[in-house]
């Protein structure tokens, strides 16, 4: 079987009445889903979609969106799912730019990055990479046909979209939620009878659940098979809290990106709960640390390249290896640990500082809801560290106490000189700090 849709067709034949997708009160079986996908593919072909051509669509948390996504592949087209709320002008601009683009044979999707550290780019993902990602997750995290995977995040990014892959390969069930706007809907999804449940939550969503309904989560410890997190660093404090609330649940911290695919994963509830540890490479992936200390990834999951940007592609993809901007190390057990990003490093008095390190320490304080460490100019000292903090409701930022707290855990040069209370931290919709907004 060479495409995700081959497995979808197989499931319709072998398990026709099995529930494939649930959205709200609507349920669709594999046989019905395949009939809808086949009919939609024929319609797209009549409307002019041709093999190897890109089709831009708005991603939504709906069954209908997934029908269109699968149908584009079925018609041998290339799916380009964009954020549902993308402005119409930008939607048309991307569609026009791709209308006559030369897309390599075998390309399934073009996924646009969030652009947190620079310009958003269209990442080409092949059918082979989709299946390799699926098999990586099945082998490492134990997806099975009896699992219901709850998707809360946007289905145009690798974090959530990649969970569709192993569910289809194993014949499991997807349950689609409209984010975590309605926390009751999330917990209600865990109350369906006789199920084993799993989900992917970015660290910002985990922090929100722990802050608002942490104790309620404990109630579902017996039915949550596993939770995966990724896309941004999760704090040590939140990891330990999850382990305490869900002692028998597998809790995975995963290393992945649109460019690399799903590469490493680590169950931090299995005796080694250390922030920044992302585990060993999965079945179809390999990882090494370059002489510069950055992470390089290879294997079947990596991207084909950036659409229409050969120079940008050559800057990170060489000889089938993606050279990331993540600083990392591999421990004696072969586990990958991340220690910051090249793009994020702040030079302070000749010292290179990873802001994520300061942010993680600050987040261990109960009066801190969110924070970001940035570079600021000082008339005498030049470049200094500044910490923007969202305090918990009803508290006031105590700058001296915060400085003492950070100094007790980090080197002196990593202690911010300036502290500022803010109402919110700029984050993308997948939970990453939007560092570009602070430059």
Three-class HEC string of 285-310: EEEEECCCCEEEEEECCCCCEECCCH
Task: Read off the pLDDT of each residue in 197-216 and give the average, rounded to a whole number.
Answer: 88
The candidate with the shortest Cα–Cα distance to 5, out of 58, 76, 65, is: 76
* Residue 104 neighbours by CB distance under 10 Å: 12
Highest-pLDDT range among 188-197, 202-211, 275-284, 332-341: 275-284
Residue 159 per-residue DSSP state = H
Tens-place pLDDT, residues 381-390: 778 899 999 9
Q: What is the mean pLDDT of the chain?
A: 92
Lowest mean pLDDT among 243-257, 258-272, 395-409: 395-409
What tokens were used for 217?
């989560």
What tokens were used for 213?
């309904």
Predicted pLDDT of residue 415: 94
What tokens were used for 310?
């050969």
Q: Give the DSSP letter string of 49-79.
A: --TT-EEEEE--SSHHHHHHHHHHHHTT-EE
- Residue pair 398/410 in contact by the 8 Å Cβ criterion: no
The candidate with the shortest Cα–Cα distance to 173, out of 354, 377, 34, 18, is: 18
The pair phi, psi for residue 171, each rounded to 5°, is 75, 30
Q: Give the DSSP letter string of 372-418.
A: EEEEEEETTTEEEEEEEEEEPTT----HHHHHHHHHTTS-GGGS-SE
Tens-place pLDDT, residues 151-197: 999 999 999 999 999 999 999 999 999 988 888 889 999 988 767 99
Tens-place pLDDT, residues 134-156: 999 999 999 999 999 999 999 99
Q: How far apart are CA 95 and CA 296, in angstroms?
A: 32
- Residue pair 151/200 in contact by the 8 Å Cβ criterion: yes
Strands 321-330 and 336-341: antiparallel
Residue 6 DSSP SS3: helix
Q: How far apart are CA 1 and CA 349, in angstroms?
A: 56
- Give 117's pLDDT tier (boundaries 50, 70, 90): very low
The pair phi, psi for residue 91, each rounded to 5°, is -60, -50
Residue 126 DSSP SS3: strand
Which regions of 4-135 does DSSP assign to beta strands (E)?
19-23, 26-29, 54-58, 78-82, 107-112, 122-126
Q: How far apart are CA 367 and CA 398, in angstroms?
A: 9
SS3 readout for 317-377? EECCEEEEEEEEEECCCCCEEEEEEHHHCEEECCEEECHHHHHHHHCCCCCEEEEEEEEEE
Residue 392 per-residue DSSP state = P
> pLDDT at residue 350 above 80?
no
> pLDDT at residue 75 above 90?
yes
Residue 153 per-residue DSSP state = S
β partners of residue 81: 57
Q: How far apart are CA 140 and CA 402, in angstroms?
A: 39
Determine whether 400 is exposed, middle or buried from the number of CB atoms within 10 Å of its CB (0-12, 13-18, 19+).
exposed
């Amino acid at each position: 079987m060479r495409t995700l849709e081959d497995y979808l067709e197989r499931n319709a034949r072998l398990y026709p009445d099995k529930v494939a997708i649930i959205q709200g009160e609507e349920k669709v079986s594999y046989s019905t889903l395949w009939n809808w996908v086949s009919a939609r593919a024929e319609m797209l072909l009549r409307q002019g979609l041709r093999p190897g051509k890109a089709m831009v669509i708005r991603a939504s948390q709906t069954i209908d969106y997934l029908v269109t996504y699968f149908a584009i592949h079925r018609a041998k087209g290339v799916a380009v799912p964009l954020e549902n709320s993308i402005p119409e002008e930008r939607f048309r601009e991307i569609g026009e730019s791709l209308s006559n683009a030369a897309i390599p044979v075998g390309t399934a999707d073009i996924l646009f990055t969030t652009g947190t550290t620079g310009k958003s780019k269209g990442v080409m993902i092949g059918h082979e990479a989709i299946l390799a990602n699926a098999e990586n997750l099945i082998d490492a995290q134990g997806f099975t046909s009896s699992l219901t995977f709850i998707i809360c995040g946007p289905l145009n990014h690798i974090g959530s979209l990649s969970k569709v892959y192993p569910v289809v390969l194993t014949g499991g069930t997807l349950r689609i939620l409209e984010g975590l706007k309605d926390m009751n809907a999330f917990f209600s999804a865990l109350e369906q009878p006789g199920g084993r449940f799993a989900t992917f939550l970015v660290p910002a969503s985990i922090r929100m659940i722990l802050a608002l309904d942490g104790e309620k989560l404990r109630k579902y410890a017996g039915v949550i098979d596993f939770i995966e997190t990724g896309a941004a660093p999760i704090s040590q404090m939140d990891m330990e809290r999850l382990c305490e609330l869900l002692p028998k649940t597998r809790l995975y911290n995963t290393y992945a990106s649109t460019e690399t695919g799903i590469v490493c994963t680590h169950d931090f509830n299995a005796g080694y709960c250390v922030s920044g540890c992302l585990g060993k490479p999965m079945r179809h992936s390999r990882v090494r640390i370059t002489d510069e200390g950055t992470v390089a990834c290879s294997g079947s999951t990596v991207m084909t390249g950036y659409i229409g940007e050969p120079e940008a592609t050559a800057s990170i993809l060489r000889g089938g290896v993606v050279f990331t901007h993540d600083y990392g190390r591999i421990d004696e057990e072969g586990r990958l640990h991340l220690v910051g990003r090249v793009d994020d490093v702040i030079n302070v008095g000749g010292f290179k500082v990873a802001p994520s390190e300061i942010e993680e320490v600050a987040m261990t304080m109960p009066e801190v809801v969110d924070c970001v460490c940035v570079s600021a100019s000082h008339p005498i000292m030049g470049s200094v560290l500044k910490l923007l903090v969202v305090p918990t409701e009803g508290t006031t930022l105590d700058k001296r106490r915060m400085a003492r707290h950070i100094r007790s855990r980090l080197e002196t040069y990593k202690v911010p000189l300036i502290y500022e209370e803010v109402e919110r931290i700029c984050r993308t919709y997948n939970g990453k700090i939007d560092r570009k907004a602070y430059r």
